[in-house]
């Protein structure tokens, strides 16, 4: 029977994320992560290699979590409802997974890719948006009958840019999302989809 894991990767990544949100990515040190997570420095090095690669893994985990919810929402059989559900998933993720959403709002992929030596990790960072882009292209085809560049841009504006813009300033400021924001956002997304159609 395997021994239980004392210092899970998620616990280490949670500690790193909380430090980034509290101090900024440039102020985070390996010693700070050791102190916050309780994991030995050797264990962190063994799992992640370097501080830069740990921060990249932390960012990728948040991005995958967010994208998983967004892509699952696209499964709705009605394309308009799929688009609205996907847009609302950005708002809802920001409520349910506030720390990950704050991380994604304040730290871009480009902020973590520099300094990553692992070819596999660099490839993951460069390919992370592939499924998202494919999902948005497929949604555009369902909404508009075809997925030319202008149509995809209209879909992205309605389904990604509107909800991200609505939640981002609250996430960056560390303030709660307003109680009526979800209803306002849904109405705005539906109006934008109607114009795009």
- pLDDT at residue 195 in the model: 84
Give the chain's mean pLDDT: 94
Q: pTM to 2 decimals? A: 0.92
Whole-number percent of the chain with pLDDT over 90 = 91
Q: Which region, left, alpha or beta, applies to residue 145 given φ > 0 means left and ψ of -120 to 50 means alpha?
A: left
Evaluate if residue 196 carries a pLDDT over 80: no
* Domain boundaries of the chain, sorted by first residue: 62-196
Mean pLDDT of 46-51: 92
Write the DSSP symbol of residue 174: T
- pLDDT at residue 189 in the model: 98
* d(C-alpha 124, C-alpha 56), whole Å: 10
Q: What is the 3-state secondary structure (H, E, C) of 67-111?
A: HHHHHHHCCCCCHHHHHHHHHHHHHHHHHHCHHHHHHHHHCCHHH
First to last CA, the chain: 58
Query: Which pair of tokens denotes residue 73?
Result: 């929402």
Mean pLDDT of 165-187: 96
Residues sharing a CB contact under 8 Å with residue 143, sequence separation 6 or more, in sequence order: 79, 80, 83, 151, 155, 193, 196, 197
Write the DSSP symbol of residue 38: -
Mean pLDDT of 107-128: 93
* d(C-alpha 167, C-alpha 90), whole Å: 8
- pLDDT at residue 101 in the model: 98
The model's confidence at residue 4, banded by pLDDT at 50, 70 and 90, is low
Evaluate if residue 103 carries a pLDDT over 90: yes
* d(C-alpha 57, C-alpha 92), whole Å: 23
Topology of 62-196 in CATH? Tetracycline Repressor; domain 2 (1.10.357)
């Amino acid at each position: 029977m395997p021994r239980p894991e004392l210092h899970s990767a998620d616990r280490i990544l949670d500690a790193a994320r909380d430090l980034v949100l509290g101090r900024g990515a440039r102020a985070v040190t390996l010693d700070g992560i050791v102190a916050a997570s309780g994991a030995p420095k050797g264990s962190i090095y063994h799992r992640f290699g370097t501080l830069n690669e740990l921060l990249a893994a932390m960012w990728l985990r948040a991005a995958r979590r967010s994208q998983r919810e967004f892509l699952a929402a696209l499964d709705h059989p009605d394309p308009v409802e799929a688009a609205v559900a996907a847009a609302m998933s950005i708002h809802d993720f920001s409520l349910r997974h506030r720390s990950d959403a704050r991380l994604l709002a304040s730290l871009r992929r480009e902020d973590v890719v520099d300094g990553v030596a692992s070819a596999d990790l660099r490839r993951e960072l460069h390919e992370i948006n592939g499924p998202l882009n494919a999902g948005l292209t497929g949604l555009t085809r369902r909404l508009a009958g075809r997925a030319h560049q202008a149509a995809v841009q209209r879909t992205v504006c309605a389904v990604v840019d509107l909800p991200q813009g609505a939640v981002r300033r609250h996430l960056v400021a560390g303030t709660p999302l307003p109680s009526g924001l979800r209803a306002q956002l849904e109405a705005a997304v539906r109006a934008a989809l109607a114009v795009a159609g």
